[in-house]
């Protein structure tokens, strides 16, 4: 009888864990989809803005008068909320890698909505991202560490991330355009990763008592590093080729998040025996697919800033939506 109860309890715990993992995965996928739509809508909202408004306040005032851009901003908020909930219930090393599927969703949106043809590069990249991600999550089987890292751990991690950001920005001040874009993208990725770490903790504070958020320094760190990440990402896009900035942002962010999950929150990944090499192979596959997608002509054209190639106006229905909104 006792053995039967223990077995039932173990099966119940496993079922609850599987249900939670499925929910976390679905939330992270939802955040990725919202991110992809955000990029499309906001690009549509500013594609006809004056060419001399880049990095000026006039670009923001122009965008705020466009309904389609505001829809993208609303989706950005939805993405943040979904990611925050996913991080509250899931692990950093589990949630952040899923966000690489944003590129897959972006290709699907451009193909289905705008009628762009999907070539072999896009198919191969999408399969590599999804297959590599599934392989990593299965092989790693992340286990919770601590939900409340000590202050010294935060200090060491924050100092390491800040130093990495500063070094990357300094390196971005010189060199060819592709190098500057890549370095700004690296700095933005580390900022995004640390922001996600703060979000995980702040979401726990919010779940217990919203009124206490102002008492925790992580709330202010989230706001500062989040704003810094957005600023650095815009500089990465402005500094050089989009494929250079997009590649580093997509590749460095999940890798930095995995390291933060292990080093700061103590996430335990299954690395004994063949699991470690299989995880590395899965990550390599996922990153290779993300790299292919980032270099796809679809992504490059949609993310690019060349006002002479307004590819989002390819179909009259999308142009009409942008103008009417």
Query: What confidence tens digit (pLDDT) does each residue in 248-297 have?
Result: 877 888 889 989 988 888 888 888 888 889 989 998 998 888 888 877 77
Average pLDDT, the chain: 79
49: confidence class by pLDDT, cuts 50, 70, 90: low
Give 313's contacts (C-beta < 8 A, 6+ positions apart): 47, 319, 322
141: confidence class by pLDDT, cuts 50, 70, 90: confident
Return the closest-CA partner of residue 291 out of 244, 258, 257. Answer: 244
> Which DSSP letter does residue 268 get?
B
Q: What is the DSSP string of 182-199?
A: HHHHHHHHHHHHHHHHHH
pLDDT digits (tens, 9 = 90+) for 50-85: 655 544 566 567 777 778 878 888 998 899 899 989
178: confidence class by pLDDT, cuts 50, 70, 90: confident
Average pLDDT over residues 160-166: 96
User: φ, ψ for residue 268 (rounded to 5)?
Assistant: -105, 120
Q: How far apart are CA 157 and CA 104, in angstroms?
A: 31
- CA-atom Rg of the chain in angstroms: 21
pTM attached to this predicted model: 0.76
Query: Among 25-39, 138-152, 197-211, 276-290, which stretch is predicted with the lowest mean pLDDT?
Result: 138-152
Q: Is residue 225 predicted with pLDDT exceeding 60? A: yes
Q: Report helix, strand or coil for 143.
A: strand
162: confidence class by pLDDT, cuts 50, 70, 90: very high
Average pLDDT over residues 237-258: 78
């Amino acid at each position: 009888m006792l053995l039967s109860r223990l077995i039932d309890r173990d099966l119940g715990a496993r079922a609850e864990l599987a249900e939670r993992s499925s929910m976390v995965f679905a939330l992270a996928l939802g955040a990725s989809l919202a991110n992809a739509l955000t990029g499309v809508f906001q690009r549509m909202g500013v594609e006809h803005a004056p060419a001399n408004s880049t990095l000026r306040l006039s670009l923001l005032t122009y965008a705020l008068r466009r309904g389609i851009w505001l829809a993208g901003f609303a989706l950005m908020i939805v993405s943040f909320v979904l990611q925050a909930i996913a991080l509250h219930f899931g692990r950093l090393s589990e949630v952040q890698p899923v966000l690489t599927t944003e590129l897959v969703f972006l290709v699907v949106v451009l193909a289905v909505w705008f009628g762009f043809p999907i070539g072999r590069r896009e198919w191969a990249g999408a399969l590599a991202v999804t297959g590599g991600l599934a392989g990593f999550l299965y092989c790693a089987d992340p286990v919770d560490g601590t939900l409340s890292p000590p202050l010294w751990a935060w200090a060491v991690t924050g100092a390491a991330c800040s130093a990495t950001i500063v070094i990357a920005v300094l390196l971005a001040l010189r060199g060819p355009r592709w190098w500057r874009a890549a370095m700004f993208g690296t700095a933005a990725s580390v900022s995004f990763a640390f922001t996600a770490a703060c979000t995980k903790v702040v979401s726990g504070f919010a779940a217990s008592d919203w009124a206490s958020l102002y008492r925790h320094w992580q709330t202010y760190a989230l706001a500062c590093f989040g704003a810094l990440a957005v600023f650095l990402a815009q500089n990465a896009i402005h500094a050089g080729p989009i494929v250079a900035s997009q590649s580093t942002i997509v590749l460095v962010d999940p890798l930095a998040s995995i390291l933060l999950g292990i080093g700061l929150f103590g996430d335990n990944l299954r690395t004994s025996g063949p699991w470690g090499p299989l995880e590395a192979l899965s990550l390599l596959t996922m990153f290779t697919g993300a790299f292919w997608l980032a270099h796809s002509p679809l992504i490059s054209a949609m993310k690019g800033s060349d006002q002479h190639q307004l590819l989002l106006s390819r179909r009259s229905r999308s142009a009409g939506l942008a103008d009417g909104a």
